[in-house]
Amino acid sequence: MCTKKRMDNMAGDEYGICPCSVFLPFLAGLVIGTGLSLLYAPKSGKELREKIGEMTDDAVDKVKNKATEAQEKIKSTIEDSKVVIKEKMAVLTSAIEAGKEAMELEKNKNRDKENLTY
């Protein structure tokens, strides 16, 4: 079940910062920094191209893995939210029914009073 505290943790920390808003720029900076460091490293052209290719493949794999993890977390959050919504709808429905019953009871009491007075 998804509690308010858990929802807060899923949305970010108590300061309202989403982990994605920090992670994605960090990952982009990591990839750019790695590429620049390779360009300035003293290696031959062939070695440099091979290294860039390897690092690009690694970065793509990491991004795919993180995207898959994010999708799974989003799906989990959606499912938890569905459960919470169903629970809240049940509470709301029973509250509405109780209100209708109370209103009907009061109508009947008023009718009984009117019938006694006439």
Using an 8 Å Cβ cutoff, are 30 and 38 in contact? no
Cα atoms in the Cβ-side hemisphere of radius 13 Å centred on 34: 15
Of residues 5 and 31, which shows the higher confidence score?
A: 31
Tell me the chain's radius of gyration from C-alpha atoms. 30
- Total count of domains within the chain: 1
- Structural domain of residue 83, as residue ranges? 4-117
pLDDT tens digits for range 40-91 = 767 677 887 888 788 888 888 988 898 889 899 999 999 999 999 999 999 9
- Dihedral-angle region of residue 99 (phi above 0 means left; psi in -120 to 50 means alpha; beta otherwise): alpha
Mean pLDDT of 11-15: 51
Q: How many residues does the chain have?
A: 118
Q: Please tell me the pTM assigned to this model.
A: 0.46
